């Protein structure tokens, strides 16, 4: 009897264990299915498209005055008067500095008197020579005397004029290097004048881009100082020789804006627009993961995320140009990338 009871107990225990194992298996399978569902990441995608893009290049340049003159003394002597100050607008021919001219004025007065006398003597000798009252030798001597007096007159007149130091251009005085009483030697710097009614912008262009440009092309210029103002310039010169960095100096000419004037030395943004458009592969900029230097995107293949490295071209506000790494029609992930890694199962949502 005891053996029968023991056998029954053993059978019941074994049956209970089997039932428990079956229940655990069902629970495990249910959890596994749930895990698979949780590992599927919802994403949105966009197809790689081929679209026309305007070729555009933005570079930083520096503005320079179209005319800039360092005015130097062409005479020597003590400064007796100054007629300008820094920041003053001056016209071409305006006297800026007066140098003491007492001795030069006296020398000029003598030279002028000798010149007038020699001139009258020559006229008189010409008449007398015709009348045979003086010979040809005497006339020739009168001509030599006149030329000598004329030369001295021109020299002393120029020396007197040089005591009035003038600005050769119209513009704004940017520096003043003398004071009343300063003794000037020849070639002493007196002032600096710049004309910014027109400006030159100098910018260095990479060799791969410089061949797309030609003189006469329009360039649109903006600054951080006047972000809403666009200036239009023209390429004036493209240097035929590169610098040590293998970039080519390009000079742009533009008229200054009187309402929003640029100043010499300012940094400016130069936008070069070509007349051509190119058919290029583009993707939304939000699809990009990584950095601009090491760009990558996730591509969906058979509901699986695959990461791909790409080569970028131009970068615009909303889209980026893809030079290599993607084919037209491929689907790139535009949202949900933060939850992805290589071979993650994804579900595309619209």
Q: Is 265 helix (H, G, I), strand (E, B) or coil?
A: coil
Last residue of a domain, one of 244, 261, 277: 277
* pLDDT value of position 314: 74
Structural domain includes residue 313:
yes
Q: Are residues 257 and 287 in the same domain?
A: no
Torsion angle of alpha carbons 125, 130, 134, 137, nearest 10°? 80
Residues 6+ apart with CB under 8 A from 218: 232, 233, 234, 273
Last residue of a domain, one of 277, 306, 327: 277
Bridge partners of residue 183, in order along the sequence: 78
Q: Domain of 145: which CATH number?
A: 1.10.287.470
Q: Are residues 264 and 308 in the same domain?
A: no
Structural domain count of the chain? 3
* pLDDT value of position 33: 46
Q: Are residues 270 and 306 in the same domain?
A: no
Q: Is 194 helix (H, G, I), strand (E, B) or coil?
A: strand
Write a three-state SS string for 205-230.
Answer: EEHHHHCCCCCCCEEEEECCCCCCCC
Q: Are residues 246 and 297 in the same domain?
A: no
Q: Domain of 213: which CATH number?
A: 2.40.30.170
Mean pLDDT in order along the chain per 10 residues (350 residues): 58 62 57 53 93 78 94 96 94 96 96 96 91 88 95 96 96 95 95 94 87 90 91 94 87 91 92 71 91 87 93 80 91 92 89
Q: Is the dihedral of CA 9, 13, 19, 22 positive or negative?
A: negative
Q: Are residues 268 and 207 in the same domain?
A: yes
Structure tokens at 49: 């498209």
Using CA atoms, how far apart are residues 172 and 192, in angstroms rounded to an integer?
8
Structural domain includes residue 134:
yes
Structure tokens at 51: 């679209």
- Strand 231-238 to 247-255 pairing: antiparallel
Q: Are residues 302 and 256 in the same domain?
A: no
Structural domain includes residue 111:
yes
Number of residues assigned to the chain: 350
Structural domain includes residue 174:
no
Q: Is the dihedral of CA 272, 55, 335, 344 positive or negative?
A: negative
Q: Are residues 326 and 343 in the same domain?
A: yes
Q: Are residues 210 and 245 in the same domain?
A: yes
* pLDDT value of position 55: 66
Local structure of residue 293 (DSSP, 8 states): S
Q: Are residues 232 and 265 in the same domain?
A: yes
Last residue of a domain, one of 244, 277, 310: 277
The model's pTM is: 0.58
Local structure of residue 185 (DSSP, 8 states): P
Q: Are residues 301 and 341 in the same domain?
A: yes
For residue 242, give its domain range: 58-64+198-277
Q: Are residues 109 and 155 in the same domain?
A: yes
Structural domain includes residue 254:
yes
| Rg over CA atoms, the chain | 44
Q: Are residues 258 and 286 in the same domain?
A: no
Structural domain includes residue 310:
yes
Structural domain includes residue 180:
no
Q: How far is CA 104 from the centre of its chain?
A: 50
* pLDDT value of position 323: 85
CA nearest neighbour of 104 among 175, 43, 137, 152: 152
**Widest Cα–Cα separation across the chain:** 184
CA nearest neighbour of 171 among 200, 201, 191: 191
Residues 6+ apart with CB under 8 A from 220: 230, 231, 232, 233, 270, 271, 273
Structural domain includes residue 181:
no
């Amino acid at each position: 009897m005891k053996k029968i009871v023991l056998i029954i107990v053993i059978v019941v225990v074994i049956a209970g264990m089997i039932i428990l194992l079956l229940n655990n298996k069902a629970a495990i399978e249910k959890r596994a299915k749930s895990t698979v569902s949780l590992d599927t990441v919802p994403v949105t995608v966009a197809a790689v498209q081929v679209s026309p893009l305007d070729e555009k290049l933005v570079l930083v340049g520096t503005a320079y005055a179209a005319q800039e003159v360092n005015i130097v003394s062409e005479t020597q002597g003590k400064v007796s008067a100054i007629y300008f100050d820094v920041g003053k607008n001056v016209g071409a021919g305006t006297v800026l500095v007066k140098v003491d001219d007492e001795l030069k004025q006296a020398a000029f007065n003598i030279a002028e008197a000798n010149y007038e006398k020699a001139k009258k003597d020559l006229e008189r000798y010409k008449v007398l020579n015709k009348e045979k009252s003086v010979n040809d030798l005497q006339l020739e001597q009168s001509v030599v005397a006149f030329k000598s007096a004329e030369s001295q007159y021109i020299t002393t007149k120029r020396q007197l004029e040089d005591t009035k130091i003038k600005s050769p251009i119209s513009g704004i005085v940017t520096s003043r290097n003398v004071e009343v009483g300063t003794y000037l030697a020849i070639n002493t710097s007196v002032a600096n004048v710049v004309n910014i009614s027109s400006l030159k912008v100098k910018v260095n262009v990479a060799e791969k881009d410089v061949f797309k440009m030609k003189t006469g092309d329009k360039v649109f210029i903006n600054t951080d100082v006047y972000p809403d103002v666009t200036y239009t310039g023209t390429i004036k010169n493209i240097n035929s020789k590169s610098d040590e960095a293998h970039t080519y100096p390009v000079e742009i000419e533009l008229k200054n804006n009187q309402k929003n004037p640029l100043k010499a030395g300012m940094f400016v943004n130069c936008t070069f627009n070509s007349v051509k458009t190119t058919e290029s592969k583009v993707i939304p900029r939000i699809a990009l993961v990584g950095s601009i230097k090491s760009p990558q995107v996730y591509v969906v293949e058979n509901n699986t995320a695959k990461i791909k490295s790409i080569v970028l071209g131009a970068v615009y506000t909303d889209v980026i140009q893809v030079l290599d790494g993607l084919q037209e029609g491929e689907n790139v992930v535009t949202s949900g990338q933060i939850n992805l890694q290589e071979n993650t199962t994804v579900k595309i949502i619209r």
